[in-house]
């Protein structure tokens, strides 16, 4: 009965490849997010997605694109992977985008680019 | 630039000790502040959420305070236990962050020794 789940847990790939990370939430939430945690453990927001409205952190390269087939899923596609993309990626969800809404996090996907 | 800073970066204490973790933020125009716990290889668990109008929140042995005007929050852990060992992250919702986005500090890695 995991609230926010991600697959895969680990992903090792070569530079230049295209890969996807999947995220699913069974909480009935309207809003989902992707965060990146780098090697120094800093967590930074990448995207916020609510009812087809995508809000992007302007520092995110356009090689990264979120795709939402339905309200319960927000997948992260990464094109032309680079060494600097190696990090742990966390998915999260919240009831809405209200500032009072607590975000619930998935377990993370550790991406290693060789 | 809106930033969140946590000091110390790491802390080691003997079991039973009371301790304080610090968080500071550069802009007092915030909606709220949230403390999370992150265990190795796992996602984030929300501990406490303090709205900008509140001064503190308590949950069990945890007490979080907020001084918005000075840009500071503290997380007080009473009677620490080895099970409290984890990384504690402070996150702020600044007023001009669209989409309920959180800005995270770098975390404090806590080790409680038996």
Mean pLDDT in order along chain B per 10 residues (114 residues): 91 96 93 92 88 94 96 97 96 78 92 96
In chain A, which residue's Cα lies nearest the Cα of B108? Answer: A41
- A74: tokens are 């927000």
Cβ of B43 within 8 Å of Cβ of A42? The answer is no
3-state percent helix, strand, coil for chain A, nearest multiple of 5:
5, 50, 45
Q: Residue-wise over B34-52: b if at least 16 C-beta within 10 A, else e?
A: bbbbbeeeebbeebbbbeb
Of A43, A99, A108, the CB nearest to B100: A99
B60–A contact, CB cutoff 8 A = no
Residues A17 and A38: their CA atoms lie apart, in Å, by 20
For residue A91, give the nearest of A100, A103, A102, A83 by alpha carbon.
A103
Instruction: Dump pLDDT digits (tens) for B37-69.
Output: 999 878 889 999 999 999 999 999 999 999 999
């Amino acid at each position: 009965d995991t609230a926010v789940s991600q697959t895969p847990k680990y992903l090792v790939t070569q530079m230049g490849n295209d890969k996807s990370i999947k995220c699913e939430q069974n909480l009935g939430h309207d809003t989902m997010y992707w965060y990146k945690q780098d090697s120094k453990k800093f967590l930074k927001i990448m995207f916020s997605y609510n009812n087809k409205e995508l809000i992007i952190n302007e520092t995110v390269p356009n090689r990264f694109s979120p795709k939402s087939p339905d309200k319960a899923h927000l997948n992260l596609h990464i094109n032309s992977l680079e060494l600097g993309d190696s990090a742990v990626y966390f998915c999260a969800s919240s009831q809405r985008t209200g500032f009072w809404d607590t975000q619930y996090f998935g377990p993370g996907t550790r991406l290693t680019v060789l | 630039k809106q930033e969140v800073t946590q000091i110390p970066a790491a802390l080691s204490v003997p079991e039973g000790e009371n301790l304080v973790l610090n968080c500071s933020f550069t802009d007092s125009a915030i909606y709220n502040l949230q403390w999370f716990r992150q265990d190795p290889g796992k996602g984030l668990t929300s501990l406490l959420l303090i709205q900008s109008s509140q001064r503190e929140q308590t949950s069990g042995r945890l007490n979080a305070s907020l001084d918005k005007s000075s840009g500071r929050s503290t997380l007080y852990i009473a009677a620490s236990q080895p099970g409290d060992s984890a990384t504690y992250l402070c996150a702020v919702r600044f007023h001009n962050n669209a989409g309920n986005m959180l800005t995270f500090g770098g975390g404090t890695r806590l080790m409680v020794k038996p």
